[in-house]
Amino acid sequence: MAEMSAIGKKLKETFPDAVTGMKTFRGELTVSINKDYIGKVAEFLCNDDESDFGYLSDLCGVDKSRLDNSNAFEVVYHLYSLRHNHRVRLKVEIPASNPSIKTVTNVWKTADWHEREAYDMFGIIFEGHPNLERILTPEGFEGYPLRKDYPLKGRQPASLREVYRKGEE
């Protein structure tokens, strides 16, 4: 846990305006980051020898609109250091009215797929992404199925319903 607090302290010293919150739970550090700094923080955590978070193990979206009435989404980055065997989680809040954030594909190549998934499921725009297209839903799919306002019955155009029915045969 001492190494996690050292990483958090170094991050706060290096980017005082970027870090908006920090907590440790069960030995894992979660750092809340201002969305304008995600690119700089990602590069720092990946390239700094003490942290060496060279592996983005997951990136996901969270619709917080009904969770805390914040009308916001969150992008969560799970980072791992193979060399030091430690993890850190970054959380970036973005407004639901303009769900966009800078891509981190230039830092971690695996972000390509993860960001496309978050785009497909939540409609989060990753600015500068090299190929931001739907990846899990079929062509013509309307809406974003993991948003809290998505209809429970998942109404889709009639032509798309035919695609689903053919898959069931």
Which helix (H) or strand (E) segment is 13 a member of? helix 2-14
The domains of the chain, with CATH numbers, are 2-137 (3.30.460.80)
From the list 129, 158, 134, 132, the residue with the least C-alpha distance to 145 is 134
Whole-number pLDDT of residue 167? 53
What single string gives the DSSP state of each residue in 84-131?
A: TTEEEEEEEEEETTS-EEE--TTT-TTHHHHHHHHHHHH--EEET-TT
Q: What is the pLDDT of residue 37?
A: 97
pLDDT tens-digit series, residues 30-55: 999 999 999 999 999 999 998 999 99
Mean pLDDT of 3-31: 90
Report pLDDT digits (tens) over 70-84: 889 999 999 999 999
**0.85 cut: is pTM over it?**
yes
State the Cα–Cα distance between residues 110 and 113, nearest whole angstrom. Answer: 6
pLDDT digits (tens, 9 = 90+) for 125-162: 999 999 999 999 888 888 899 998 888 776 666 665 56
* Nearest residue to 78 via CA among 114, 48, 49: 114
How much is the pLDDT for 36?
97
